[in-house]
Amino acid sequence: MIYFENNTFYLQTEKTSYIMKLLSNGVLSHCYYGKKIPVEDISFYNFLGFRSFGPKTVIDGKEASVESLLHECSTFGRGVYRTPTVEVIGKEGTQVNDLFYSSHRIISGKPKLTDMPSLDAEVDGVQTLEVVLRDIRNEYEVTVFYSVFEQENIISRRHTVKNISEYDLRIEKAFSATLHFEHRDFDVITLPGSWARERQLERFALPHGKFVIDSCRGASSHQYNPFVALTSKNTDEHNGDAYGFSLIYSGNFQISAEADHFDVLQLQIGINPDTFSWNLKSGESFDTPEAIMTYSADGLNGMSQNLHNVCRNHLGKCANKQLKHPIVINCWEAMYFSLDEEKFLDFIESCSGMGIDTVVMDDGWFGQRYEDNSSLGDWFINREKFPNGFDRIIEACHKNGMKFGLWFEPEMICRKSRLYEMHPDWCIHNSSFEPLESRNQLTLDFSRREVIDNIYEQMHKILESNDISYIKWDMNRHIADAGSLSLDKASQGEFYHRYILGVYQLISRLTQSHPDIFFEGCSGGGGRFDFGILYYMPQIWTSDNSDAIDRLKIQYGTSLVYPCSSMTAHVSACPNHQTGRTTPFMTRGDVAQVCSFGYELNVKFLSDDEKQEIRAQISKHRELEALINQGDFYRLRSPFEGNNCSWQIVSADKSKSYVMFAFAVSHANPKPLHLKLCGLSENALYRVEQLDITVSGATLMNAGIPIYPPLQDYATLTFDINIV
Ligand code: GLA
């Protein structure tokens, strides 16, 4: 997997190569990343040379402009005019510095990253290259870690900055990865969005200058997902070069693509430097989060499958092959804040016999929470609403063969709460301003240990004394007034990163002390949908928008990076609460079916036919479960490009497949079309039940199956394809 020959590092996965050259002046310079090439001398492959107006250096006896070197880890001020990978202010107070090779080692597996989620350390089929670079003044070292996941075609990357001097240093920038291409003939794909319309796919040509997406909201955010793809101009879902970059981090991130006057492109990904600085005392180290890079020659589907596979094989809880995603019914849209014991018992009764695994009680069960203006931080049961605590509720769940789940929003505090009365200084605030509320709530200062301890104890008490099998962990505002009373003046720049480390710490403690509880992430829907959260919580509520038609785009966009099993998707009531649209019950089920499935409605108000549909949808989901959790996902038709959307899952052994085709608005005199399938075995024969045909994989993939658009808005078709 990793080779070092002729001063060149070769990182080889099954289908990709990542190559770097150790130059004679001690610079670690990028050569190539893309489709696999053999381990052989590629010293001819570089554009070292002259750049007007730039300082020069000497490499192998020849002069070259510093700018023409493609630093794997760059600094500022010594002739590289691109944004530096690390910026450390030392004794002399200057940002000017330079990094040179000191040593390297190649190890099997990968060193564990403490305090932060990362791809698993103890795994076969993984090797790590560590290159230590030392700065020109001998003040600090940067260790660059490259872990090669051979089978998944993933290379992960991160840095450790260590103060090797006797005085204090300050880190101003520490990206997780810097990568170069010698051209900018790429399209960029990002996933911008907002609340209730997360991860909408956007594609555009890469301009000169610097293109940036980021978050400074304290969470990875609805607005931009920590992901970017670079593709060739002609890349589509099935063919062409597709590079994907993501970050295992839930806080403020930045991804930039910067093209210079020679069209050299630098891509960077990591903690957002605009909201970050870190003091590093003598002997201390700072770890950046881990970045993930992948390349596929098989278009965007190939890129996505690599990302899905590394998540399902190597990312914390997501990698647990025994894990079962429960089918839940959540009460939020069924009763909002108006829940109490009698209503909830009734709710449980109505779900009986449907096949549901878990009944989840959402917001409104604690403190004095009657609407959204109080009690966050008071994690004790509201005895006016639940005079018997949860005893009768849990008993009723068990009696009906179901389990009980509960909603928390651990990072928040309301002014109207006991916690606020006791600790008004625990919210994030700044002594000069009145803290700004959002949804009538403030954010707790999770950079403080005593705050985390308090919330841990409150949650632990509830979990210890009640049989709870599922937690929905919400976060319903972004941070303002950033800063912490616990940090001195010079350390305020550490706040955002310390906040997210505090969140990870609380989640780790709870998941460790309650290993059997299934945790689901949420942040006003999909506002913190990232690999950092997925490490602990194997699924995330994809969006507060549960409308089946809007969900086509949200789920399609999300699938670019994250596996289906990580997306929670529920069938909800109609007219839909977010869009007012009425869609067929079947469509709602078909769109949600390939994700982690459930319901967001009151069964009591459904017709007998609809109840029957629930039973059928659930039994279908059980049949598809293994396929959803382990199969390869293909996007077939994009809702961003037309009036319809289609996706397909194929089992790893290619024996089983499931296709969903959805239409938005219907048109008169519709044209039929052929839908070409993917991923099947060319020579095998497959039975397509719904069409009553048995044909070869080659025919299904090249001629396709006929689709006749129905004369009805919002209809879906599904196909089960099984090898005979
Ligand atoms: C957020 C979640 C919803 C629901 C509400 C409760 O918006 O995304 O699903 O839990 O909070 O307040």
Mutate to test the pocket of ligand 1, among 472, 474, 529, 572 (most ligand atoms within 8 A of CB): 474
pLDDT at 47: 79
With a 6 Å cutoff on the Cβ, whether 361 touches ligand 1 is no
CA of 525 to the centre of ligand 1 (A): 7
In this structure, the residue with its CA closest to atom 6 of ligand 1 is 363
Percent of the chain with pLDDT over 70: 100
CB 618 within 8 A of CB 611: no
Q: Which of 37-46, 139-148, 466-475, 546-555 has the lowest mean pLDDT?
A: 37-46
Helix (H) / strand (E) element for 143: namely strand 140-149
Please provide the DSSP assignment of 599-662 as one string: EES-GGGS-HHHHHHHHHHHHHHHHHHHHHHHSEEEEEE-TTTSSEEEEEEE-TTSSEEEEEEE
Mutate to test the pocket of ligand 1, among 195, 337, 363, 438 (most ligand atoms within 8 A of CB): 363
Ramachandran category for residue 65: left, alpha or beta (phi over 0 → left; psi -120 to 50 → alpha): beta
Give percent helix, percent strand, percent coil of the chain, each to the nearest 5.
25, 35, 45
Amino acid present at 469? S
CA of 369 to the centre of ligand 1 (A): 14
Q: Mean pLDDT across the chain, nearest whole number?
A: 96
Helices (H), 329-386: 332-335, 341-351
Helices 548-558 + 585-592 axis angle, to 10? 10
Helices 341-351 + 391-399 axis angle, to 10? 10
474 is an active site residue: yes
With a 6 Å cutoff on the Cβ, whether 541 touches ligand 1 is yes
d(CA 587, CA 571): 9
Convert the pLDDT of each residue in 387-404 to its tens digit: 999 999 999 999 999 999
CATH numbers and ranges of domains, the chain: 2-314 (2.70.98.60), 637-723 (2.60.40.1180)
Phi, psi of 555 (to 5 degrees): -70, -35
List the beta strands (DSSP E) in 383-532.
403-408, 412-413, 442-443, 470-473, 518-521
> Which residue's entry shows tokens 């396929």?
627
With a 6 Å cutoff on the Cβ, whether 499 touches ligand 1 is no
Convert the pLDDT of each residue in 71-122 to its tens digit: 999 999 999 999 999 999 999 999 999 999 999 999 999 999 999 999 997 7
Burial class of 568 by CB neighbour count within 10 A (0 to 12, 13 to 18, 19+): buried
208 contacts: CB under 8 Å, gap ≥ 6: 184, 259, 260, 261, 263
With a 6 Å cutoff on the Cβ, whether 362 touches ligand 1 is yes
Closest CA to 576 of 606, 530, 598, 544: 544
Mutate to test the pocket of ligand 1, among 407, 523, 546 (most ligand atoms within 8 A of CB): 407
pLDDT at 28: 96
Mean pLDDT of 201-219: 95
Start-to-end Cα distance in the chain:
38
Question: Of these residues, 241, 298, 544, 547, which one is catalytic?
Answer: 544
Convert the pLDDT of each residue in 490-512 to its tens digit: 999 999 999 999 999 999 999 99
CA of 558 to the centre of ligand 1 (A): 19
* Ligand 1 atom nearest 372 alpha carbon: 12
Confidence class for position 301, pLDDT limits 50, 70, 90: very high
CA of 554 to the centre of ligand 1 (A): 17
